[in-house]
Amino acid sequence: MARHRQSTKIKAEQKNPDLPPSQELIPCEGCSVVHPPVFIPTEEQPKPPVPSCKHASAPAECPLRKYMSEAAHLEVEIGPGMGRFILAHSANNPDIQMVGIEKETVRVAHVDIEARKRGINNLRLVCGEALPFLIACVPPASVEKLYIFYPDPWPKRKHHKNRLFQKNFIDAVWNCLKPDGTLNAVTDHADYFRHMLEVMEGEGRFELTDAFTRTEDERTDFELRFTALGMEAHTASWKKR
């Protein structure tokens, strides 16, 4: 109950007219990231259709695509959570344009509020799923750096099919990255890290490069908690050929 009240409070604060304009971007009505069609599996079509956007070739019709199409130095974080990295990284690098894609509405609201309070203007937020976002919304060859911190490791073998690092995800990442753009990942799960390395090792379109570094204020809340217990963070970066 207390958690629900806190979530309601955060969402209400996001609408505070005394704060600067919201940093959350709402894609156009034709975008299946935040407007997914009702899908009922059938034998003929057991999986949902590939997400699309009716304004994919006309960025001016969609504020999100317009923002990303006009960005000179675009970076994306998948799943920013409560925003410690994306807020600090945006503030530390005012020359970049940052986009965070997060499926939890209360987290989007929290990061939006913090960005507005801190006067961070080079950050935009989207509430939606990561893979449809990459496929439907991100212009091809537009992203310089893509970040993923501590994705769900789905530790049980029968659930490995749900892991983010799969071919369809790698295809989408390759399509949205600029030449020499980088995919940067961090996980605390050793088996999932091996899985990441194996998936990317079989990809001739990418090459392993020096792992990216962060400032102390760019370490996530989750990372601060588990490293305080002596646990290790596994970090890797891959460059698009």
Provide the annotated active-site residues. 152
Rounded Cα–Cα distance for residues 206 and 241 (Å): 5
Burial bucket for residue 239 (CB in 10 Å: 0-12, 13-18, 19+) = middle
DSSP state of 127: E
Asked whether the beta carbons of 106 and 84 are under 8 A apart, the reply is no
Beta strand 177-187 with 234-240: parallel, antiparallel or unpaired?
antiparallel
Tokens standing for residue 69: 């199409």
Residue with tokens 């971007």: 25
Asked if 90 contacts 218 with a C-beta cutoff of 8 angstroms, the reply is no
